[in-house]
Structure 1
Amino acid sequence: MISLSKACALAAACAVVLTACGSSTGASGSATPTAPVDVGKASPVTPLDAAATARAKKQGSVLLYTNADAQQTAPITKAFEAKYPGIKLRVLNMNDAQTFQRYATETATGVRTADVVMATDSVGMLDFVRKGNVLGYTDPNLRNLPKYAQLAPGVVAVSEDPLVAVYNTALIPKNKQPKDLASLAELSTSIKGRVGTTDISNPQSFGAVSSYVSQQGDAGWKNLQALAPNTKVESGNGNLMQKLAQGEYQAAYFVSGSVRALIEDQKAAKILNYTYLKDATPLLPRAVAVTKKAASPDAAKLFVNFLLSVEGQQAACKGGFTPYRDGVDCAYGLPAVEAVVGADNLVLGGYPKDIVKNKATIVERWKKAYDR
């Protein structure tokens, strides 16, 4: 049990969390959860050619469908429109399944649809490509990005977002919070029912599990099977964070890394703490693609080009994304994550091999372990 004063503090923190559980670092971008790291040297600017840029300006707008929330995309919108004042970026926020379904419905009826889609559902995005919905666009920035940036034909990663563990510090002090999933599995036996995660039907959870077991193999499944009987399952991050702040949960794992900035910058930092798990920090590529039916195809290409530039990645950092391009100074960037967990504990390399073929097996094995 916790004291009345702590319970009040937890409730207050909960209110903060719920208003921004997918949130940004704020305009200042001042949070520094890790020590300064070497982010490398920025490569030369690789813009679109002048003719394509001129056509983009004539088209005048970009319609983006994305699973990122409004607070995350706001810094990107501001930076893009400042760089290209004649082009308006319109953002519709929805989950990945809604994005793909809405595009299918709108293209079937001839209604204006997305010029660009941004999603973390790997299987959904690959199916979107298979159905011929992605323009075969190769951005000039790709020559200056790692090979894993290219996820599929016409599909590139905007960021490599980590999944983290989050703890209620009033119930598990920082010095006793597990730093790897195996240790959390061990602890979970003493706090049965006070540990949370998200359901495998959530693309974020599936992405976390599939990436983790692709790297860890049977040892990874063993850790998940040890955690499963002691874990309660939620539909998404919102419920997890609320129950953590209220003290119903003491720990949660495979939580979206977008909560990092919130926990660092807001009052919730006194109640909640996140950590990268050194044996289990899956990175989910947040994919972006120009659609085949884009009404503003050149403006869409210009937007993708901006997102992949150093300037665009810097703006994405302010929205809580995890940039990976060299020369981007970001407290939540890939170099900062790697500095904590080590390169060998990051799952990089695009989408896991055979992810579409293996999805049913992974889901079935997870459901059996978690009795779903």
Structure 2
Amino acid sequence: MSRHISGTPRRRFGHHRLLTAALVAGTLGAAAACAPSGPDPASGTESAGAVKPVIDTKFDLDKLVTAAKKEGSVTVYDSTGDITKTAAAFTKKYGIKATGVKSKVGETLEKMTRENQSGNVTIDVTNYEDGPSLVGQLLAEKTVYTYIPGPVAQDLPPSGQNPLQVLSKGNLWVYNPELFPGGCPVHSMWDLTEPKWKGKVALQDPLSKPNIVEFFNQLKSGGDQQLRQAYQDTFHKALPDGDSAGEAWVKGLAKNSPILTSSDDDAAAAVAAPNQKKPRIALVSNAKFRDVKDKGYHMRVCTGLRPWAGYQYPKYSAIATKAEHPNAAKLFVHFMLTQEGIDTQLDTGGVPGNPELSTGTFMPAGLTDWDKQLLVFDPSKLRDDFENLQPMQDLWRLNHG
């Protein structure tokens, strides 16, 4: 079932075939009761690349709520401001004070690492969008652990369990339909490397936006064939054998003097602000589509852009190993896997990690199918993406003027 269907459960992800033995243990048998002390994920002997999730086979929601209420509060860090709405809904439902804090991925990584080392932990849960550093650092170093409520585990695809994927969002190529009433002015990602678009492509600086670098690595590892075909279709000649299509595209974009911004807000404004008269293309989060209503922005997804109109980036949920409120943290993760919880983050679109939940009713203008129009990250490449982070950043640095 495709994800463009709204209001109905999705029985299975379109990309379930993307499984990994490296990240998903064949037997996810670790279990934890809902006792206030919780499991001891730091006591395991797994290697850094094979840390197993804790599946709570004795899950009892009533007991968990009681234990969480005794703890009294929970603090959750997320890279989107939507976390404040999720926290408010959680507090309203359970009577437990939840504090949602918007924080960039790098800042969350640094803070959670420092807190774990000092033992003074203030972050209980993170909704975290950089899978490579989650797998390569936070999980590998046992700063956090993956917790899965037993009753939900059977509904989750193996590829979404380790780490636990609670949501997918999108970074989308967008244009201003007021300036281009005939539709998106580019038809191929390779057009963005051409002189015509020099200095006219806006995106958040990849060196400060981890999932953009992951996008570059995913292009290299899993998108080569389609990107290579798009090159053939665009330039009517084959990309030289031996060349990485992903690396060639990254080099081309970097050399074309893109407008690098410090935030998606600035990238969206560079294209879609009401007074914007300059013809540009931008790569922005689907969350920016709220500005169409709130700020009068003119923005539409580049429908038909080959090979993809953007990419899906997963958001994962993990609990601090030394969390001060371990049971409230578990309850919050459970809440993120329910319709009531995930709906608080779907007002600008997205795909729930629990395939039994509906995708909501909103779809960014020009996007009709999350799977077919967007590159879907392969979770089996998270470890490779972590190892290739620095080389890809260096490739960008060397080629960006």
How does the TM-score come out when normalised to structure 1? 0.76
**1:12-161 counterparts in 2 under 5 A?**
36-37=5-6, 39-40=8-9, 48-49=59-60, 50-69=62-81, 72-85=82-95, 87-126=96-135, 127-140=137-150, 141-152=152-163, 156-161=164-169
**1:1-372 counterparts in 2 under 5 A?**
36-37=5-6, 39-40=8-9, 48-49=59-60, 50-69=62-81, 72-85=82-95, 87-126=96-135, 127-140=137-150, 141-152=152-163, 156-185=164-193, 188-201=194-207, 202-217=209-224, 218-230=244-256, 231-244=258-271, 245=273, 247=276, 250-263=279-292, 265-269=293-297, 271-275=298-302, 277-280=305-308, 281-318=310-347, 321-324=350-353, 325-332=355-362, 339=369, 342=372, 345-349=375-379, 352=382, 354-371=384-401
SS at match of 2:122: coil
How far 1:166 sits from its partner (Å)? 1.8
User: Which residue of the partner structure matches residue 17 of structure 1?
Assistant: none
How far 1:121 sits from its partner (Å)? 2.2
SS at match of 1:144: coil
Structure-2 change in CA distance of 1:162 and 1:342 (3 Å): same
Counterpart amino acid of residue 68 in structure 1: T
Structure-2 change in CA distance of 1:96 and 1:110 (3 Å): same
How far 1:292 sits from its partner (Å)? 0.7
Counterpart amino acid of residue 344 in structure 2: A
- Unaligned 5+ segments in structure 2 are 13-56, 225-243
Structure-2 change in CA distance of 1:249 and 1:164 (3 Å): farther
Counterpart amino acid of residue 296 in structure 2: A
- Contact kept, 8 Å, 2:169 with 2:312, in 1: the verdict is yes
- Unaligned 5+ segments in structure 1 are 1-33
Structure-2 change in CA distance of 1:92 and 1:343 (3 Å): closer
SS at match of 2:154: helix
How far 1:179 sits from its partner (Å)? 4.8
Deviates more, 1:213-222 or 1:76-85: 213-222
Instruction: Give the Cα–Cα distance (whole angstroms) in 1 for the partners of residues 276 and 323 of structure 2.
Output: 46
Structure-2 change in CA distance of 1:233 and 1:41 (3 Å): closer
SS at match of 1:287: strand
Counterpart amino acid of residue 286 in structure 2: G
Instruction: Give the Cα–Cα distance (whole angstroms) in 1 for the partners of residues 295 and 76 of structure 2.
Output: 32
Question: Once the two structures are aligned, what percentage of the paired residues are identical?
Answer: 22
Deviations along 1:271-307, one digit per CA (max 9) or x if unpaired, are 3323364523321111210111111101100100110
Counterpart amino acid of residue 131 in structure 1: E
How far 1:60 sits from its partner (Å)? 1.9
How far 1:68 sits from its partner (Å)? 1.5
SS at match of 1:327: coil
Instruction: Tell me how large the CA RMSD over aligned residues is.
Output: 3.2
Deviations along 1:246-281, one digit per CA (max 9) or x if unpaired, are 537533343222113333x34534x33233645233
Structure-2 change in CA distance of 1:348 and 1:161 (3 Å): farther
Instruction: Give the Cα–Cα distance (whole angstroms) in 2 for the partners of residues 278 and 331 of structure 1.
Output: 26
- Contact kept, 8 Å, 2:79 with 2:127, in 1: the verdict is yes
Instruction: Give the Cα–Cα distance (whole angstroms) in 2 for the partners of residues 95 and 48 of structure 1.
Output: 32
Structure-2 change in CA distance of 1:150 and 1:174 (3 Å): farther
Instruction: Give the Cα–Cα distance (whole angstroms) in 1 for the partners of residues 358 and 6 of structure 2.
Output: 11
How far 1:134 sits from its partner (Å)? 1.4
Deviates more, 1:55-64 or 1:214-223: 214-223
Structure-2 change in CA distance of 1:310 and 1:288 (3 Å): same
